[in-house]
Structure 1
């Protein structure tokens, strides 16, 4: 009886919520305009606002004139002041949290989350679920057990500001009505070692009525494989009432085939687009491609055509100016004090009524097929340190992920053309992997957690990169081959040129 009432209430809430969201879907352009002016007005007396004469800003064009696009390094001096306890710097109040992330040239990033910003992170996740319930006209899963694979909720403090990974922060805000259904236990969630943690999660959940499972795709795959190994059953055999899988963090498509294989039969899937900087979009129709852009959640969006991104005269477009099926660098202004912030993601609109996007890439070459956010600086420094130690000489190299190997765990493959090979190639490989783990904490977590195996070296014959450049019509001093990729387009070509 209790479960019947719970499902009925969830369905009523969902229908009511989706009906209420029609307004923001229809008024996105005007809402965005008013939001920006409100954010600017609120922050007029902050250090950042005073330096840029916020009191003079009356239009979007004024804002774009006064506030230039910035990345983390450019906002870092202000964030350092906040970390030291100074107030009224980027936003009127001290942040409630710092979401600590990896991936810059100077170590970890500390992304402020204000008291105003935190509720939107939670509301977006809730909205995604409500849209699914309303469309499906079925809320059966709320009566079962739900699991959210996430980082440790243990937080440290920096001058009174609680600091940790976003997933750990969010864990402290799960509504009470979900707590009884939520797994794993707090004791298991606090385990630092990821492989140990997943083993305990498997033990806690394998006999439960799991109906909703959420997490980053590679983490889900690891969890599913361990369940199958222990029980000898596909996931939908083990959890016959499993109704919904929610993913985020990385593009789900490369994992879809593997996921379906482990599940045993199709399960409804919702893709989301959360980040430490905000929760931007979710799949409001689970049967169709595209994520609904959240235009009334405390974030003002600008879009720079990717082919002009980084140029002094690059246009900064708002929603009313974007075109379908064109790539844009995503720029954010948030109610947590990020101003014209370039997050590094590239999006493409596939609908303008309402505004729906797909995440089409990154503004810079990168490798993040498993959520590791490896950047060029990290791989170049790791290679430099390893080459100097052995010694060896490198002509060129390229890193590509192998998401679906023929056997074993996924891995990073480094295609290397040596001018002078190291005397001990295996020792060179091990050292290179260790150098990468030191520089990127997410990569280290993935290796330590047995989600990835240590890197593999693909040794190339002489002039391999020359042949690739020639094949692409990119011979010449100004044409650089990307050191990093998030796919195997270059890697598949180089595969044919191994020595």
Structure 2
């Protein structure tokens, strides 16, 4: 028997689908409206006056007056906001700061305003509603849903609430979902991640879990603890669990491991949230990429990755992007971020409508020899190498080895196996072939005997989790970079690894 909540979800989903179609099918006009609204709203702010917003009438005017900035460059303005200033980056004061731990700037304070907050909540809701509209499956709304996230405890600084984004969003769960939502408030407030996951296992075991959501690596930890406790597959523990919602990292490297833990395939929805804004979500099951949120108070610019570090790189809007090109994504928002580089690189998989995949981080690449290998390429190489094999990988990261004891330099792949290959050299060969196919610079360096083919270093079980714990980044929204241009990360755990 269909419940009232399940029955009402379908017409609601249809209405949201129609609303989304309106702006998704008119992308350029939608973005132009967002742009004009942002400029007119911020004319009287300190930033608006400093950058002559009064005389900005079109995008070209904006490019001339507002340079691309990262957090460090925007920091003088942010500090004024943190100190309690009004009308600095956006009108009035923010209602929250999402506090994040930056890799280069220490703690970052990302403003969230009363205008920007609704988009964080609505985009996550709309992703689920688009899934209901597409599949007709709404039964899961009657079951329990778990969102693995940071603590909802907020602090206050000069009248502004401060916390992690996932903790802030926890305060906005719609009333109709409150009874369905786990973990409990008390469990969610536990700071130590391992203690928290143990408590979540106890709370969820007796429940009818239908949706599980979180960053794949941390959900995997939850699944493993459930399995250790019961000896059962997750799909047998939670018979009605059929939807996994994730964001933050590519799911594909984890998929085989998840299906083994669950015991069957489940549908998944990918989200692209960040403290700076909710940028995209997967709107259909059978197409690659996530629908770019063009109507959420965010104006997007794009710069080709290869020219990003040039003195004056060309900036373009959605109107001029091409499919398959690697772009640095730049945002201006109704939270007061202006031509802000969030550090992510994206590729478009479609322009009708605009869908993107996250291809990596502008700072997370390997170009020790001019090869410019990006996150998407190493993930795809791993995926292709594991295809039709019984090898299973828990986690991996890649670093250059510039000064080997013997022979030419190479890329070193640090891999924690769930199920090890019988032929580790054969696996390395397959990964390398895929990487050479995808990246012509890497191919040329191998061919020209500048680099030797990659080598795999096995990381002991739990090695990556132990590393994240040792740097105080276990759980929450923290994730391990797929690759880096130096050996700082791998030096943290490589002494515990064994090379084959």
Quick check: 1:194–1:449 contact (8 Å CA) kept in 2? no
3-state DSSP of counterpart to 2:309? coil
Q: What SS class does the counterpart of residue 140 from structure 2 fall into? A: helix
Alignment counterpart, residue 415 of structure 2, candidates 379, 396, 402: 402
For 1:485 and 1:275, how far apart are their aligned partners in 2? 25
By how many angstroms is 1:339 displaced? 0.1
Contact 1:234 1:263 in 2 (8 A): yes
1:92 matches 2:95:
no
Aligned length: 417
Which residue is equivalent to 1:295? 294
Query: More displaced, 266-275 or 248-257?
Result: 248-257
Q: What's the CA shift string for 1:318-367, capped at 9, x where partnerless?
A: 01100111000000000000000001100001100000111111111269
Alignment gaps of 5+ in structure 2: 367-374, 380-394, 400-408, 421-462
Corresponding residue for residue 225 of structure 2: 226
Q: Which residue does the alignment assign to 2:240?
A: 241
SS at 1:361 equivalent: strand
Residues 332-351 of structure 1: matches in 2 within 5 Å?
A: 332-351=331-350
Partner of 1:176: 175
1:172-225 CA-to-partner distances (Å, cap 9, x unmatched) read 000111000001111111111111111111011111100001001011000101
Counterpart residue number, 1:43? 42
Q: CA, structure 1 residues 125+99, in 2 after alignment: closer, same or farther (shift >3 Å)? A: same
Distance 1:164 1:267 in 2: 32
The answer to whether the Cα contact below 8 Å between 1:397 and 1:483 also exists between their aligned partners in 2 is no
Distance 2:190 2:127 in 1: 28
* Change beyond 3 A, Cα 1:72–1:165: same
Separation (CA, whole Å) in 2 of partners of 1:259 and 1:216: 12
2: CA distance, partners of 1:94 / 1:50 = 17
Q: CA deviation at 1:162?
A: 0.6
TM-score after normalising by structure 1: 0.77
8 Å CA contact 1:100, 1:165 repeated in 2: yes
**TM-score, length-scaled by structure 2:** 0.77
Secondary structure of 2:255's aligned partner: helix
C-alpha deviations, 1:150-183, integer Å up to 9, x for none? 0100011111111111100000000111000001
Stretches of structure 1 that go unaligned for 5 or more consecutive residues are 377-395, 408-432, 453-480
Per-residue deviation, residues 357-402 of structure 1 (Å, max 9, x unmatched): 1111111126999xx9x9x9xxxxxxxxxxxxxxxxxxx9988653
| Distance (whole Å) between structure 1 residues aligned to residue 477 and residue 56 of structure 2 | 49
User: What's the offset of the Cα at 1:277?
Assistant: 0.4
Q: Specify whether residues 485 and 355 from structure 1 end up closer, same or farther in structure 2 by C-alpha distance, changes over 3 A only.
A: farther
CA contact (8 A) 1:72 1:109 kept: yes
The partner residue of 1:444 within 472, 477, 496 is 472
Q: Give the match for residue 279 of structure 1.
A: 278
What's the offset of the Cα at 1:308?
Answer: 0.5
Give the corresponding residue for 1:63. Answer: 62
1:231-380 equivalences in 2 (<5 Å): 231-365=230-364
Residue in 1 aligned with 2:207? Answer: 208
Shift of 1:312: 2.0
- For the residue of structure 1 that corresponds to 2:137, the secondary structure is coil
Alpha-carbon distance in 1 for matches of 2:157, 2:119: 23
- Residue pair 1:194, 1:448 contacting (<8 A) in 2 also: yes
Counterpart-to-counterpart distance in 2, 1:106 and 1:237 = 45
Offset at residue 69 of structure 1 (A): 0.2
Deviations 1:237-275 (A, max 9, x none): 111111210001112121111111111000000111100
Is the CA contact (8 Å cut-off) linking 2:235 and 2:263 kept in structure 1? yes
Report the equivalent of 1:139. 138
Once superposed, what is the RMSD of the aligned Cα atoms?
3.4
Please name the residue that 2:120 is paired with: 121
Q: Which moved more, 1:443-452 or 1:268-277?
A: 443-452
For the 8 Å contact 2:193–2:475, the answer to whether it is kept is no
**Residue 24 and residue 445 in structure 1: after superposition, are their counterparts in 2 closer, same or farther (change >3 A)?**
same
Counterparts in 2 of 1:50 and 1:127: CA distance versus 1, 3 Å: same
